[in-house]
């Protein structure tokens, strides 16, 4: 499931693919990814990609002629470049001047595309309500603490609350807490100043590592059936790489959390 690093990777990929080319035409199938937005406005996107920004897990794409596109990859969305007109699960397509086609592919259709005037992208309610982005906004223990300390939710749940911290999901919240040796069920108000610092650093480290994995720099990471590149996520019943205890899983706010009961206190 794409979180901040995977969406950031998609953003960089799109910037590269669109660079020096322009959109000749676009087409989109009638699927629920448009969620009430006007699908015809998507087919009016033409010309250069002026900018691709990311806020949390959202992509904000700006094209010429004040055409904008809000894109969320949902659970299984991704962009692929091809010379083929059809690809499995392709839901929307950009035809480029160099003959390539950029497909938005989404098997389970939990993604979202909302074509809007480019200038209104930052003020869309789903974008305006996002909390601090640990990758693009100024980031420190102080910022993290201010965002999470007021809530009584468990720290893991609070980390995934997009209105507080934008971009972390189930995987990278668990990874960051493992790196910081903080138990996922702790109330944020119980964290010491030192723990806030450690957690702020751990979040950056987790995101940096995940982005490297996406770029294929760390290990060969195959989408399905590949090696698990994570320290704790998806490792229930395995041994903790740090202390040797058995990794546990528990459900928190409907999501399965993985943690080491011995070295995350």
Give the residue with the Cβ less far from Zn ion, 124 or 263: 263
117 is catalytic: no
Give the residue with the Cβ less far from Zn ion, 245 or 253: 245
Site string for Zn ion, 72-111 (x = CB under 5 A): ----------------------------------------
Interface with Zn ion (CB under 5 A), residue from 212, 242, 250, 255? 242
Burial of 244: CB neighbours in 10 Å, binned 0-12, 13-18, 19+: exposed
φ/ψ of 13, rounded to 5, equals -60, -45
Q: Is 265 in the site for Zn ion (CB under 5 A)?
A: no
Dihedral sign, CA of 249, 252, 254, 255?
Answer: negative
Give the residue with the Cβ less far from Zn ion, 165 or 260: 260
3 is catalytic: yes
φ/ψ of 131, rounded to 5, equals -80, -160
Site string for Zn ion, 195-234 (x = CB under 5 A): ----------------------------------------
Burial of 265: CB neighbours in 10 Å, binned 0-12, 13-18, 19+: exposed
- Which residue is catalytic, options 11, 54, 55, 57? 57
156 is catalytic: no
- Which residue is catalytic, options 149, 204, 255, 261? 255
Give the residue with the Cβ less far from Zn ion, 100 or 242: 242
Buried b (16+ CB within 10 A) or exposed e, 21-54: bebeebebeeeebbeebebebbeebbebbeebeb
Give the residue with the Cβ less far from Zn ion, 33 or 177: 177
Of 23-31, 110-118, 205-213, 252-260, the segment contacting Zn ion by CB under 5 A is 252-260
Q: Is 236 in the site for Zn ion (CB under 5 A)?
A: no
Given a contact cutoff of 8 angstroms between Cβ atoms, the answer to whether 91 and 31 are in contact is: yes
57 is catalytic: yes
| CB neighbours of residue 84 within 10 Å | 10
Q: Under rule CB under 5 A, which residues in 115-144 are in contact with Zn ion? A: none
CB of 241 to Zn ion, least distance (A): 8
Interface with Zn ion (CB under 5 A), residue from 49, 240, 252, 258? 240
Q: Could you list the active site residues?
A: 2-3, 57, 255
Residues that bind Zn ion (CB under 5 A): 240, 242-243, 245, 260, 262-263
């Amino acid at each position: 499931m794409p979180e901040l690093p995977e969406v950031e990777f998609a953003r960089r990929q799109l910037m590269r693919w669109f660079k020096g080319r322009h959109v000749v035409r676009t087409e989109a199938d009638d699927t629920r990814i448009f969620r009430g937005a006007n699908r015809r406005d998507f087919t009016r996107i033409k010309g250069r990609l002026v900018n691709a920004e990311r806020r949390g897990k959202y992509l904000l794409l700006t094209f010429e002629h004040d055409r904008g596109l809000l894109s969320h990859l949902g659970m299984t969305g991704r962009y692929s470049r091809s010379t083929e007109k059809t690809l499995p699960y392709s839901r929307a397509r950009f035809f480029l001047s160099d003959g390539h086609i950029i497909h938005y592919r989404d098997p389970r259709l939990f993604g979202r595309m909302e074509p809007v005037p480019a200038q209104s992208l930052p003020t869309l309610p789903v974008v305006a309500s996002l909390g601090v982005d640990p990758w693009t906004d100024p980031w420190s223990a102080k910022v993290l603490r201010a965002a999470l300390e007021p809530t009584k939710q468990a720290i893991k749940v609070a980390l995934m609350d997009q209105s507080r911290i934008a971009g972390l999901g189930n995987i990278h919240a668990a990874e960051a807490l493992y790196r910081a040796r903080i138990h996922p069920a702790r109330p944020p108000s119980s964290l010491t100043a030192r723990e806030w610092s450690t957690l702020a650093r751990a979040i950056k480290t987790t995101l940096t590592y995940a982005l490297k994995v996406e770029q294929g720099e760390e290990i060969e990471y195959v989408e399905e059936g590949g090696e698990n590149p994570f320290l704790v996520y998806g490792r229930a019943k395995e041994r903790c790489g740090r202390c040797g205890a058995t990794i546990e899983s528990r459900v928190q706010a409907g999501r399965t959390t993985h943690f080491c009961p011995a070295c995350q206190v």
